[in-house]
Amino acid sequence: MAHTEVDARRLPPASIIEGAAGGVVGAMAMTGTRELARGLGLIAQTPPEAILQKEVPQLLNRIPEERRVATIQLAHWAYGACAGAAYGLTPIRLRDHRLSGPVYGVLSWAFFEFALAPALGLAHAHESRPRARAALFADHVLYGLILGASPRRRLLRKR
């Protein structure tokens, strides 16, 4: 069995991998808060549902109905991973600030609410929905808290 060396120059920086992993976990936590918000009647439809139903309905219709919720969640978690990886690209001096994650989460919420949703023509983008916006704002703060909870920062605090 031949031993192959891994060229470290070809691997993504640890901060990108860490950010992607935090992004997945953050998106998973958002799933829980969104289901709570849906159960409380604060939101009727999650942003991933709205986007997929509007932008790729043919693809969504090809997925068996009993698998659609899982598919939508996987798409959201993948998006969370990508956003987390992008967070990992931010300068370390910014990421090391304790508010960087929550601020990043709020900025991603604002980008969706005020740029992406209107650009995609999502119906809810033009409605007054303060309770839904507050619920989605809160779950993006949670996403940012998780994303910003860097293992590196915890190690630095212990010194």
Burial class from Cβ neighbours inside 10 Å (0-12, 13-18, 19+) for residue 79 reads middle
Domain ranges of the chain: 15-151
Please, which pLDDT band fits residue 12 given cuts at 50, 70 and 90? Answer: low
DSSP class of residue 8 equals G
CA diameter of the chain: 64
Model pLDDT for residues 105-132, shown as the tens digit of each residue: 999 999 999 998 899 888 777 777 899 9
Model pLDDT for residues 47-94, shown as the tens digit of each residue: 888 888 888 888 888 999 999 999 999 999 999 999 999 999 998 888
Please, which pLDDT band fits residue 26 given cuts at 50, 70 and 90? Answer: very high
CA distance 91 to 87: 9
CA distance 131 to 82: 27
CA distance 159 to 157: 5
Q: CA-based Rg of the chain, rounded to a whole angstrom?
A: 18
